[in-house]
Structure 1
């Protein structure tokens, strides 16, 4: 028997029933879906952390089975054999990355600036913090305080960062407090210095770093020099190490959140909502940095194209590709990537990457190349974001800074590793190599 209202009658009953549900219940349902959406979008993992009892995840180490670096140094690094647990209220790679400079408590100190002029007439700002400048500490790495005995670490900033970036000031202060002399090698055109030659800084410009390293080695030949690179600075550092092979006057190095392969990274930036968000923000930062030197950029590249650019790829296509005479933007990205030179690295190198890094995809990590090279140990964590790795309830501590300090301290104290490097310098009588400057 057909009911009143025909086949639509059940739907009328359903609609009437739905109207009887309080509006507050619908709002709660919307709130629930919104929370699920945000939880998924920001890749929050606090529920996972709770389920695992806030035990964190172990650090995965990739290295050659015959690696003396692992045996002599890394095996003694407790942090690399422990677990990393993100700060509970920052249990998201995006929150860690976005809030990095906002959450980090910036130490209060003043750099001493040295202006270094490169062989092409460029200007690089070297910002120094000496161990002796940190008055609250009497700690020395080797229990001595002569200039030659105090190790020096060079810090290479990320994309548009400089020595005043909070996370950089934090590692600078931390290393100086523990007996190291530290110098930040700002990229040319950044850090408040002008462009004084027909050349600007790009993602693959490693020759400035090479000249600075050689300059410091010539000035302090008995000092053990190390380097730490963050983000794009890590790419430049590893590229420099690979390009120069054994002709590198460094005792050791650390690369944090290296993008490795800029071509893969470029593809990664187009995939998801958050990656496209980072792409726009970083592209905007690059444009703002370029505007400080508009006259030089306008001579060497396509200024109108730069102004129209909205992504990193657009910016590099209108600037670095043209200035470096590359046929395509992909050709520039391949040239600028450190991944192609990993097997040439001859300096003890620790690389740290988070698998959930929302800026540098883990697809670009050269696992096999790192395993093949006896001079490299790759440490990866499940979480950590991009050059963040917040830890502790307050979020005041950055795990990667503690890892860097422990690794470099153990390397410096190694009875064989550091001495082998210093002996190599004397045998090679290292000098600054003659290199063509592409961009």
Structure 2
């Protein structure tokens, strides 16, 4: 009898626990009891890995996240603040989901397989563009969701905005990955959410990134927007009736901000957003961040370059590059000491032209690559989402607050939690990000503002027909005006024929397109 009872005791114990855990208050009691224990264990793990102590960011991880908006009061800014509900509060997750190191680990370090787009429920198609200097860049178009039951946000939340509205000419969002070219889980999540809300996302891959072949022995500098200019021109020429937006992730903001500054009012973009942006490129490379993250980024960069080691050895000292121990030294060796083709020879490497060594000063390199070098020329509203607990970027005290206080085109949303490109929310969806909802709603609010301004132009009659037509072009109508050609301040060598190559083996002549200027009166 007693033997039988003792045999059943383990099963009865497990059955009792299962019954107890069906009660919500029991689960909550266990969760609250184990949270402090897990918190102290995590502190020990961070100390072993030499990561910044979690208490540096918040004491318990359960403090209510705060958001601070910094901007210059204008008509557009006031409209955004009044109508963009996501910027009013940041319902971010609690610890451990909100831990900055865990967010970075699962977003950047956790490996993503080749079929990650299938796992995320998205079908991509790729276009390869052969640009002016002979290099190749890639555009990955998110064409559809594999899950046909995925509906627009407006179907689930009546009364809220559905930015894309599922029209025949959906607005296009250009997604710019980080400077390493790594596709992250959050970037795929943003693609999925944009598709659900009726946008047409496209991921921009630099030369040599994201499986894009390196046709010329040259990588793109940190803030060189020449390739992005041609990609935007290609997208606009093939979708002239669609509104264009752009979103950058992390260090990819160096490219987007450079593009906006150099193109100025000639940009085809209606609005842009930067998630955890790098505002000072030189400071970003010179500021040490946790060794674990630094070594992971350095290893990823070397593996990326090793694929083209033979071709790059003609213009770079690849032996020194693969033996360097910091991203800063790697950047210097790649771009500040480069052997270039003799300018008297204009053909390809097969003709055996002479090479000449060119030494570029580190400071002069950043004079032409700092993301905010031409911030005064930006003529497109830019939303920047930053977090004070970001372990990968310089401290929040280095943020260029003067730009947000004085420039009518820059808006800053500074949160107390969010890590680097994370901003995860509490809820059953592990990949739900507050930054994604805020960015998409921000694009919708800006578009609505342009439509309101257009109506005022017709009603008040204070502007001419040309201005109205230009405004209509910016808000996606079919009227077009002539724009002045997009001019870049830096000169680049032009090699080979001027063509574009798509993934369908279709050659398209790259013709010079005219662009338009538009008098943006909303900064009054």
TM-score by length of 2: 0.69
Larger helix percent: 1
Q: Which residue of the other structure, out of 116, 124, 129, is the alignment partner of 2:129?
A: 116
Pair 1:336 & 2:346 matched: no
In the aligned structure 1, how far is the partner of 2:412 from the partner of 2:57?
28
Q: 1:142 to 1:308 in 2, by over 3 A?
A: closer
Structure 2 partner of 1:188: 207
Query: Which string of whole-angstrom CA distances, capped at 9 and with x for unpartnered residues, describes residues 342-373 of structure 1?
Result: 22211011011112211111244211012211
Q: 1:135 to 1:31 in 2, by over 3 A?
A: closer
In the aligned structure 2, how far is the partner of 1:401 from the partner of 1:88?
20
Q: 1:416 to 1:374 in 2, by over 3 A?
A: farther
The CA deviation at 1:318 is: 0.9
Pair 1:409 & 2:424 matched: no
In the aligned structure 2, how far is the partner of 1:423 from the partner of 1:69?
18
In the aligned structure 1, how far is the partner of 2:310 from the partner of 2:472?
44
Pair 1:317 & 2:332 matched: yes
Q: Which residue of the other structure, out of 34, 53, 70, is the alignment partner of 1:43?
A: 53
- Tell me how large the CA RMSD over aligned residues is: 3.2
Q: Which residue of the other structure, out of 397, 407, 416, is the alignment partner of 1:373?
A: 407
In the aligned structure 2, how far is the partner of 1:84 from the partner of 1:318?
43
Structure 1 partner of 2:73: 65
Please tell me whether the aligned partners of residues 251 and 421 of structure 1 are also in contact (alpha carbons under 8 angstroms): no
Q: Which moved more, 1:135-144 or 1:235-244?
A: 135-144
Q: Which moved more, 1:125-134 or 1:250-259?
A: 125-134
What secondary structure sits across from 1:83 in the alignment? coil
Please tell me whether the aligned partners of residues 122 and 143 of structure 2 are also in contact (alpha carbons under 8 angstroms): no
In the aligned structure 1, how far is the partner of 2:175 from the partner of 2:130?
18
Q: Which residue of the other structure, out of 152, 160, 166, is the alignment partner of 2:172?
A: 152
Q: 1:348 to 1:33 in 2, by over 3 A?
A: closer
In the aligned structure 1, how far is the partner of 2:392 from the partner of 2:453?
33
In the aligned structure 1, how far is the partner of 2:185 from the partner of 2:91?
22
What secondary structure sits across from 2:303 in the alignment? helix
The CA deviation at 1:133 is: 7.1
Structure 2 partner of 1:265: 284
Please tell me whether the aligned partners of residues 253 and 350 of structure 1 are also in contact (alpha carbons under 8 angstroms): yes
Q: Which residue of the other structure, out of 477, 483, 491, is the alignment partner of 1:429?
A: 483
Q: Which residue of the other structure, out of 132, 139, 157, is the alignment partner of 1:126?
A: 139
Structure 1 partner of 2:291: 276
Structure 2 partner of 1:391: 425
Pair 1:81 & 2:75 matched: no
Structure 2 partner of 1:227: 246
Q: Which moved more, 1:97-106 or 1:164-173?
A: 97-106
Structure 1 partner of 2:235: 216
Q: 1:356 to 1:194 in 2, by over 3 A?
A: same
The CA deviation at 1:328 is: 2.2
Q: 1:356 to 1:421 in 2, by over 3 A?
A: farther
In the aligned structure 2, how far is the partner of 1:275 from the partner of 1:47?
15
What secondary structure sits across from 1:319 in the alignment? helix
Q: Number of aligned pairs?
A: 400
Query: Which string of whole-angstrom CA distances, capped at 9 and with x for unpartnered residues, describes residues 43-72 of structure 1?
Result: 325995759xx4522211111122x33122
The CA deviation at 1:226 is: 0.5
In the aligned structure 2, how far is the partner of 1:133 from the partner of 1:431?
40
Structure 2 partner of 1:26: none
In the aligned structure 2, how far is the partner of 1:190 from the partner of 1:417?
40
Please tell me whether the aligned partners of residues 59 and 381 of structure 1 are also in contact (alpha carbons under 8 angstroms): yes
In the aligned structure 1, how far is the partner of 2:57 from the partner of 2:211?
44
Please tell me whether the aligned partners of residues 93 and 358 of structure 1 are also in contact (alpha carbons under 8 angstroms): yes
What secondary structure sits across from 2:101 in the alignment? helix
Structure 1 partner of 2:310: 295
Please tell me whether the aligned partners of residues 87 and 390 of structure 1 are also in contact (alpha carbons under 8 angstroms): no
Please tell me whether the aligned partners of residues 264 and 364 of structure 1 are also in contact (alpha carbons under 8 angstroms): no
Structure 2 partner of 1:307: 322
TM-score by length of 1: 0.81
In the aligned structure 1, how far is the partner of 2:281 from the partner of 2:56?
31
Please tell me whether the aligned partners of residues 61 and 380 of structure 1 are also in contact (alpha carbons under 8 angstroms): yes
The CA deviation at 1:438 is: 8.3
Please tell me whether the aligned partners of residues 403 and 410 of structure 2 are also in contact (alpha carbons under 8 angstroms): no
